[in-house]
């Protein structure tokens, strides 16, 4: 079995659902259930004996020790993090606590567990750390995309905390020999994406008749990847990645924020036109820019393709259509998130420290 951390968040829950859909290997899913953790994402595997949910913190060493001893996972996949750049600007404390201290404690627990395994299990064990392209900083418009050799130049408290965690993972390999893998992925989008991030925020605001807030001129560029493609890349790296290596993951899909929002508006105009016949584009409004806003990210994903044969299955056109369709079909999920009811539901349904 494998231990997934942060598996009630956006990417983690997609990963757990995909994992269980694709095979029978059980998952222990450890998640603190911060505001970003939502057990409703995992409703379809509630009661599935292959999925054990545990509410807890990656920084709780005693808990991690107990889980590792009890379940003896062959791998840990670490998604758990504070993930929102804007929140890190308003207050970085939780980012330092989870992304840096939490990763450190998880690494230490993993090392203790791994070092006592029998030789075969020890050789097979993996610690896969899920990281971001933001550790590389920002790119000039005509600069080549980030390769794995690009210097780390994080610019936000969020990306600095992720960069620190990547360095810890690297050091635990170099110094202690822990069998680690690190992935640095570009912007994800898809189902269960918390509507504080650009794409889901624009969809839900558009449908609610609210303004669509574009930071600054909207010409910032991100490289978008459909979330299940990120999940398949992680599975592939876990399966065949070379120990101690980092793999950049991206969608070959550079778009400006404004282009993204135009696409979302156009899809909504087609799929759920406004009652007054006007385009959702009329709701677009330019607001103050994000402090320290990185201008451009772009991933060179040739290494993972060359070494592991991975390429994204979705194009942006297919992925964004699926995503908008999912939000239209899952108004109840959005309503639960926006009202905060998903948190009450967790308490009633599972109690403290219990799970699916």
Q: Residues interacting with ligand NAD, by CB under 6 A?
A: 5-6, 8-12, 30-34, 36-37, 57-59, 79-83, 98, 102, 130, 132, 162, 185, 187-188, 194
Q: Which position among 133, 294, 300, 314 bears the catalytic label?
A: 133
Out of 39, 85, 139, 203, the only residue in the binding site for ligand DAU (CB under 6 A) is 85
84 is a site residue for ligand DAU (CB under 6 A): yes
Q: How far apart are CA 229 and CA 255, in angstroms?
A: 18
Closer CB to ligand NAD, residue 32 or residue 126?
A: 32
- Report the partner that residue 59 touches, choosing among ligand NAD, ligand DAU, none (CB closer than 5 to 8 A by kind): ligand NAD
DSSP 257-274: HHHHHHHHHHHHHHHS--
* Phi, psi angle pair for 134, to nearest 5°: -65, -15
- Residues 243-272 vs ligand DAU: string with x where CB under 6 A? --------------x---------------
132 is a site residue for ligand DAU (CB under 6 A): yes
DSSP 64-91: HHHHHHHH--SEEEE--S---HHHHHH-
The H-assigned helical ranges of the chain are 10-22, 61-71, 85-90, 93-95, 103-115, 119-124, 157-176, 198-207, 227-240, 257-271, 302-308, 316-329, 331-339, 341-350
Across the beta sheet with 27-31, the strand order is 51-55, 27-31, 2-5, 75-78, 126-132, 180-185, 246-249
Task: Please identify which residue in the block is written with the tokens 């207050």.
Answer: 91
Q: Which residue is nearest to ligand DAU (CB)?
A: 132
Q: Per CB under 6 A, which region of 68-76, 126-134, 309-317, 344-352 contacts ligand DAU?
A: 126-134
Q: Per CB under 6 A, which region of 29-37, 175-183, 196-204, 269-277 contacts ligand DAU?
A: 196-204
Residues taking part in catalysis: 133-134, 158
Question: Contact residues for ligand DAU (CB under 6 A)?
Answer: 83-85, 132-134, 186-187, 197-198, 201, 213-215, 220, 222, 257, 290, 297
């Amino acid at each position: 079995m494998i231990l997934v951390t942060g598996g009630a968040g956006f990417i983690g829950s997609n990963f757990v659902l995909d994992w269980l859909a694709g095979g029978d290997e059980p998952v222990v899913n450890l998640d603190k259930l911060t505001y970003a953790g939502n057990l409703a994402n995992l409703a379809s595997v509630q009661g599935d004996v292959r999925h054990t949910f545990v509410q807890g913190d990656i920084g709780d060493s005693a808990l991690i020790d107990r889980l590792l001893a009890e379940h003896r996972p062959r791998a840990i996949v670490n998604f758990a993090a504070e993930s929102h750049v804007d929140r890190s600007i308003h207050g970085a404390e939780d980012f330092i606590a989870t992304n840096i201290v939490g990763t450190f404690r998880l690494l230490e627990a993993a090392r203790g567990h791994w070092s006592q395994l029998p030789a075969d299990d020890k050789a097979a064990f993996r610690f896969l750390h899920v990281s971001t392209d933001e550790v590389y900083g920002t790119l000039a418009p005509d600069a080549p995309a980030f390769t794995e050799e690009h210097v780390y130049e994080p610019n936000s408290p969020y990306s600095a905390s992720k960069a620190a965690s990547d360095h810890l993972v690297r050091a635990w390999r170099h110094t202690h020999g822990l069998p680690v893998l690190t992935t640095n992925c570009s912007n994800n989008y898809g189902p269960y994406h918390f509507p504080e991030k650009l794409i889901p925020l624009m969809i839900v605001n558009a449908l609610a008749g609210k303004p669509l807030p574009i930071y600054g001129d909207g010409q910032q560029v991100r490289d978008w990847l459909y979330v299940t493609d990120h999940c398949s890349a992680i599975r592939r790296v876990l399966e065949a990645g070379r120990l101690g290596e980092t793999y950049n993951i991206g969608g070959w899909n550079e778009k400006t924020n404004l282009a993204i929002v135009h696409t979302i508006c156009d899809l909504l105009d087609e799929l759920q036109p406004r009652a007054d016949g006007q385009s959702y584009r009329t709701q677009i409004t330019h607001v103050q820019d994000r402090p320290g806003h990185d201008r451009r990210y772009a991933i060179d994903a040739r290494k993972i393709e060359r070494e592991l044969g991975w390429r994204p299955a979705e194009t942006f056109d297919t992925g964004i259509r699926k995503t908008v369709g999912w939000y239209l079909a899952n108004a109840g999920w959005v309503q639960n998130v926006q009202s905060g009811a998903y948190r009450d539901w967790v308490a009633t349904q599972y109690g403290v420290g219990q799970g699916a």
